Amino acid sequence: GAAGATGFGSMADTGLLESLLRLLEKVDGGTDSQDVAADLGVDHQVIVGAVKSLQALGEVISTEQKSSKHWELTGEGREIAEQGSHEARVFNAIPDEGLPQNGLMKMPSGKVGFSKAMSNKWIRLDKAHEGGPRVFKTVETIEDTVRDKLQLVQKGQSAKLEDKEKTELKKRKLLSEVTVKSYWITKGSSFSTTITKQETELTPEMIASGSWKEKKFKPYNFEAMGVAPDCGHLHPLMKVRTQFRQIFLEMGFTEMPTNNFIESSFWNFDSLFLQINPQQHPARDQHDTFFISDPALAHEFPQDYLERVKQVHSEGGYGSQGYKYDWKIEEAQKNLLRTHTTAVSARMLYKLAQQEKFTPVKYFSIDRVFRNETLDATHLAEFHQIEGVVADYGLTLGNLMGVLHQFFTKLGITKLRFKPAYNPYTEPSMEVFSYHEGLKKWVEVGNSGVFRPEMLLPMGLPEGVSVIAWGLSLERPTMIKYGINNIRELVGHKVNLQMVYDSPICRLDS
Amino acid sequence: MPTVSVKRDLLFEALGQKYTDEEFDELCFEFGLELDEITSEKEILSREQGDEKAEGASDVVLYKIDVPANRYDLLCLEGLVRGLQVFKEKLEAPRYKRVSPADGGEPQRLVITEETASVRPHAVAAVLRNITFTQERYESFIELQEKLHQNICRKRTLVAIGTHDLDTISGPFTYTAKPPGDIRFKPLNQSKEYTAAELISHYKTDSHLRHYLHIIENEPLYPIIYDNNGIVLSMPPVINGDHSKISLKTKNIFIECTATDQTKELAYRTETLSGDFINKRVGINESAESIAQLLTRMCLRSEVSGEGDLIQVEIPPTRADVIHACDIMEDAAIAYGFNNIIRSTPRTYTVANQLPLNKLTELLRQDLTAAGFTEALTFALCSQEDIADKLRKNIVETRAVHISNPKTAEFQVVRTCLLPGLLKTLAANRKMPLPLKLFEISDVVLKDETKDVGARNNRRLCAVYYNKSPGFEVIHGLLDRVMQLLDVKPGRNQGYHIQAAEDSTFFPGRCAEIFSCGKSIGHLGVLHPDVISRSELTMPCSAIDMDIEPFL
């Protein structure tokens, strides 16, 4: 975190820091850390450490990194700068009466020094001397130019040497060219020549004693991430569900009790005027429905209502031709996992029709439905259906479109258009499309319609009452909202909890 | 929703107008069709079988158009063109009527014998005379028959259609049923005769026909149609005879339909409704004359009757889906244009109410995350093993609701507790840093004879703590917190308490039952090591599972 990221462990000693600062005080426009090292007579690396310590104090100094090429003595070069070149050392070792060659060769500089001194013509070799070959000086004094040159480099005056000379010394492995990283140091906005020890954190003691007023505090590193809070997380799909609930509540819709996954065919199909014979109607494909083997049958129905449903299916009535087939209670009794929450809407509308006097209602639900269909990246056997229903006298198709416009506006979708569609229990039926700015095309966002009179009138709802309704899935807008392509990454046990931890809050209209 | 594939250029030629893809898409949208895909045979082959197989295939542009499930009259190019041209008032809707043979001869007859009653009791027939096939028309004719078979005929179970070259056969025709051994004929596109029994086994491996064998396979008598000379026309709903097959040269077609049910009559009928009814339901204000015109554009020939604003609407036999005035109202709205209707807010005044159970759930979920637990969302359907063996329970004791037609074991039962889903979520997230703290508040389903359907949902709260040590105290602490949130104090009578219990899912001696106001509402404890390993987990885990409905 910001507080912990700046170490204070390698603090250079205060004396050195203050010397550096005093030096800096005297110069105008700043100085190079290499010059500081030369002036204070310490190794450059020590000054680099001091600069880093001063940087950690805030705005005391400001620095700029530089890099420069620089000639430096090798180990051998330093030795020569101190003790003279090998040839000079050989020359100086020879007394006036000469020295036996084998003794000279045993000297540390013997071999190299001998051949160099020979080629400089400082010495001669008398091979025929009695007692073995002997070396004699040929000149009185010599000038050790190699040592002189190296000493110039040592003093930082390598500029005085010609390039050729430097190349020659480099070849003899006495000099090397190095790249030096140094700092150009200038006074900072809070420059001072004295160092105050910096505190890491404010403590209760400092608050009690008031000592915080005199103290300096180590700056925070605001580039670092904070420490993650220890907390739980809501599931993204449930966050979106909460928002949809909120929207319906804002629009005055009352929540329906959808806590009944098991439904009878009667409420799931027949009450909606969907044909019971699974062979006769495409909308009621047995293959899409999970049927229940235990408990296989529902055993209780509102009897009068059931008779009216039977009649409208098999013979018609209420202005309808009906489907004209042999309606069987045995089919209606079959239990199943509800394929839509409209089964609950049917129960609620039936209940509404039993009131002594009709009152207008607005209902909504968001809950699970089940389909026994082929699974793929966007289809699971269970998903959440969002449904809205309005029942009142004289509702029009224009009203349905108006309500949908308000609903989708709350989701941040304002460009809507409606396509005629076929849905067996609504007439008219409309698919709702919205213009997707990203995809640059119209995409289906929901389905809607007006419930058929063959559904409403047998329930006992008054003739002039219309019921408009619409539905959509919860998963699809959530996948779009959170950028998820595979539904299994959103719903079910295979989700990555990190996705749950990291998902932002849900505001559907932004 | 059926999809019809038509050649674009042929379609535009028939419509007498060229469109851009966008313009045609727009026209479809207004009419309630969907231009689903623009492709070619070559593109389809290349996508399905690779570029090599697609080499040389046709690259004529195809439009794939989704047609609503109620509009069987639009399932071919000719039908689409007719519908669209009438919609655009470029054509008058045709009026279909039965005519007698032009040569003054007797109409053909199809005699239905009693034997068919047990297998496929209904049949109707018709003759198309003086037709001229082109290659395209011929293909469209065959394709339409196939579309009808797949959709309204419910894969031939409900209805099977056979078409024959009338000039190769002679009536009257007989529709009867015979034992499969007694039927023998040369089927369509085969070189020799087979008995019906041989045919069934012959077609077992046919990628297309094998799907229809089951409809009659186990019947003692098979349906069969003969002509006057004993030539087999077809063995519905499986295959036609080869003798009467139609070709490009066919001039007169005999059509037979056999069915399990016969409810519709091929007759026109007239409905009378008021302009006011349509205006009020749609939310428009049009004259009766203009509404009649709108309906006529939808192939529902209409005229004002002269009495008030009454409109007489003629429903053609091709629109079996029009069974109520509301169906007529919809067609008026489509012709008017859904998107031309003024959108208005209903004046319905209501006060919103939350379902108390969902309100409680929402509030508890928020506070459980504040307590450091993360929400899981798991499936309501699972395998028997998940709720029984894996939890060391007997399936009979679970009161589970069983599904009769699951495609895989994942959908055998509805969950009776939330724990299996949470354990699976842990298993899928074993790589996440420990501890893992998860919860879910959702519904399980239990058999309950007091309910009309014999089962009820139960809203439960389940949470797990998964770490190197069992953390019973963490889960116990969560219970205390939940009870605090529900304003239930610790205590034996009016409050809540836990009491040592044995439950096979939990480690012996590490399980307690939760009581609130003297009533058992759930369990908490350290999970049994076998439950851990059967869930493909490796660390100790403690869990709580409780009913929240008593706190409503």
Nearest chain A alpha carbon to B158: A279
A42 and A149 housed in the same domain: no
A249 and A139 housed in the same domain: no
The answer to the question of residue A415 being in a domain is: yes
B82 and B169 housed in the same domain: no
Give the list of residues 6+ apart from residue A229 with CB closer than 8 angstroms, or none: none
Question: What's the start-to-end Cα distance of chain A, in Å?
Answer: 31
The answer to the question of residue B93 being in a domain is: no
The answer to the question of residue B101 being in a domain is: no
Encoded tokens for A375:
């699974």
Encoded tokens for B241:
């005879």
Closest chain A C-alpha to B446 CA, distance in angstroms: 10
A431 and A354 housed in the same domain: yes
The answer to the question of residue A319 being in a domain is: yes
Encoded tokens for B410:
């994942």
Residue, of A223 and B530, whose pLDDT is higher: B530
The pairing of beta strand B239-240 with beta strand B253-259? unpaired
Three-class SS state of A336: strand
Contact list in B for residue A261 (CB cut-off 8 A) is 380, 414, 443, 445, 457
A18 and A117 housed in the same domain: no
Between chain A and chain B, how many beta carbons pairs sit less than 8 Å apart?
294
pLDDT at A208 over 90: yes
Domain that includes residue A62, residue range: 10-73+179-205
The answer to the question of residue B454 being in a domain is: yes
Nearest to residue B85, comparing CAs of B30, B3, B29, B14? B14
| Cβ neighbours of B264 (radius 10 Å) | 10
pLDDT of amino acid B71: 86
Residues of A (373-402) whose Cβ lies below 8 Å from B: 380-382, 390, 392, 394-399, 401-402
Closest chain A C-alpha to B421 CA, distance in angstroms: 6
pLDDT band at residue A286 under the 50/70/90 scheme: low
The answer to the question of residue A83 being in a domain is: yes
B378 and B494 housed in the same domain: yes
pLDDT of amino acid B154: 84
pLDDT at A7 over 70: no
Q: What are the respective helix, strand and coil percentages of chain B, to the nearest 5?
A: 35, 25, 40
pLDDT band at residue A276 under the 50/70/90 scheme: low
| pLDDT > 70 fraction of chain A, expressed in percent and rounded | 95
pLDDT of amino acid A190: 79
Residue, of B371 and A62, whose pLDDT is higher: B371
Distance between CA atoms of B336 and B282, rounded to whole angstroms?
10
Closest chain B C-alpha to A427 CA, distance in angstroms: 6
A110 and A130 housed in the same domain: yes
Contact list in A for residue B421 (CB cut-off 8 A) is 493
Give the list of residues 6+ apart from residue B6 with CB closer than 8 angstroms, or none: B62, B63, B65, B76, B77, B80
pLDDT of amino acid B217: 87
pLDDT of amino acid B438: 98
B11 and B153 housed in the same domain: no
Average pLDDT over residues A342-350: 97
B29 and B67 housed in the same domain: yes
The answer to the question of residue A223 being in a domain is: no
Residues of A (195-224) whose Cβ lies below 8 Å from B: none
Residue, of A433 and A285, whose pLDDT is higher: A433
pLDDT at A5 over 60: no
Where does a domain end: B27, B55, B88?
B88
Three-class SS state of B512: strand
The answer to the question of residue B348 being in a domain is: no
- Are residues B427 and A235, on separate chains, in Cβ contact within 8 Å? no
Encoded tokens for B213:
């064998």
B146 and B254 housed in the same domain: yes
pLDDT of amino acid A277: 52
pLDDT of amino acid B510: 95
Nearest chain B alpha carbon to A441: B22
Where does a domain end: B56, B88, B120?
B88
Encoded tokens for B304:
């004002």
Encoded tokens for B148:
């009808």
Closest chain B C-alpha to A382 CA, distance in angstroms: 7
Query: Which of B1, B262, B323, B547 best probes binding to A when mutated, by most A CB atoms within 10 angstroms?
Result: B323
CA angle A114, A116, A122 (to 5 degrees): 80
The answer to the question of residue A230 being in a domain is: no
Which residues of chain B have a pLDDT value below 50?
none
The answer to the question of residue B397 being in a domain is: yes
Return the sign of the alpha-carbon dihedral for residues A275, A279, A281, A283.
Answer: positive
Three-class SS state of A436: strand
B116 and B243 housed in the same domain: yes
pLDDT at A33 over 80: yes
Nearest to residue B297, comparing CAs of B251, B332, B271? B332
Nearest to residue B453, comparing CAs of A329, A261, A284? A261
Average pLDDT over residues A359-371: 97
B275 and B221 housed in the same domain: no
A8-22, A130-144, B2-16, B54-68, range with the lowest pLDDT? A8-22
The answer to the question of residue A475 being in a domain is: yes
Return the sign of the alpha-carbon dihedral for residues B308, B314, B319, B321.
Answer: positive
pLDDT band at residue A6 under the 50/70/90 scheme: very low
pLDDT band at residue A117 under the 50/70/90 scheme: confident
The answer to the question of residue B58 being in a domain is: yes
Name the domain count of chain A.
Answer: 3
A327 and A396 housed in the same domain: yes
Output the domain CATH number for residue A458. Answer: 3.30.930.10
The answer to the question of residue B341 being in a domain is: no
- Are residues A316 and B376, on separate chains, in Cβ contact within 8 Å? no
Out of A255, A380, A390, name the one closest to residue B353 (CB).
Answer: A255
What are the helix and strand counts (H, E) for chain A? 19, 18
B44 and B129 housed in the same domain: no
Out of B346, B355, B414, name the one closest to residue A255 (CB).
Answer: B355
CB B162 within 8 A of CB B289: no
B331 and B405 housed in the same domain: no
Output the domain CATH number for residue B155. Answer: 3.50.40.10
Encoded tokens for B449:
């004879």
A317 touches B at CB < 8 Å = no
A266 and A373 housed in the same domain: yes
A46 and A86 housed in the same domain: no
Where does a domain end: B203, B230, B259?
B259
pLDDT of amino acid A53: 83
A454 and A495 housed in the same domain: yes
B164 and B54 housed in the same domain: no
> In the sheet that B3-7 helps form, which strands lie side by side, from edge to edge?
B3-7, B61-66, B34-40
CB A458 within 8 A of CB A473: no
A364 and A297 housed in the same domain: yes
pLDDT of amino acid B51: 81
Contact list in B for residue A279 (CB cut-off 8 A) is 154, 157-158, 260
The pairing of beta strand B374-375 with beta strand B436-447? parallel
Out of A233, A254, A370, name the one closest to residue B369 (CB).
Answer: A233
A428 cis-preceded (ω within 30 degrees of 0)? yes
Out of B333, B436, B445, name the one closest to residue A428 (CB).
Answer: B333
The answer to the question of residue A459 being in a domain is: yes
- Are residues A495 and B428, on separate chains, in Cβ contact within 8 Å? yes
* B286 CB burial (10 A radius; 0-12, 13-18, 19+): middle
Name the domain count of chain B.
Answer: 4
pLDDT of amino acid A12: 58
Output the domain CATH number for residue B33. Answer: 3.30.56.10
Nearest chain B alpha carbon to A466: B281
pLDDT at A136 over 90: no
Output the domain CATH number for residue A44. Answer: 3.30.1370.240
Contact list in A for residue B160 (CB cut-off 8 A) is none
pLDDT at A280 over 70: no
CB A136 within 8 A of CB A126: yes
CB A411 within 8 A of CB A240: no
- Here the ipTM equals 0.89
CB B460 within 8 A of CB B421: no
Contact list in A for residue B284 (CB cut-off 8 A) is 398
Q: What is the pTM of this model?
A: 0.79
A286 and A404 housed in the same domain: yes
Closest chain A C-alpha to B515 CA, distance in angstroms: 24
Distance between CA atoms of B275 and A453, rounded to whole angstroms?
18
Give the list of residues 6+ apart from residue A365 with CB closer than 8 angstroms, or none: A255, A256, A258, A341, A344, A345, A385, A386, A387
Distance between CA atoms of B320 and B332, rounded to whole angstroms?
17
| Cβ neighbours of A377 (radius 10 Å) | 11
Measured CA to CA in angstroms, residue A100 lies from A104, A107, A132 at distances of 6, 12, 7
Average pLDDT over residues A286-298: 89
Output the domain CATH number for residue B401. Answer: 3.30.930.10
B319 and B361 housed in the same domain: no
Contact list in B for residue A300 (CB cut-off 8 A) is 452
B254 and B206 housed in the same domain: yes
A81 and A60 housed in the same domain: no
The answer to the question of residue A461 being in a domain is: yes
Domain that includes residue B294, residue range: 269-335
Distance between CA atoms of B249 and B244, rounded to whole angstroms?
12
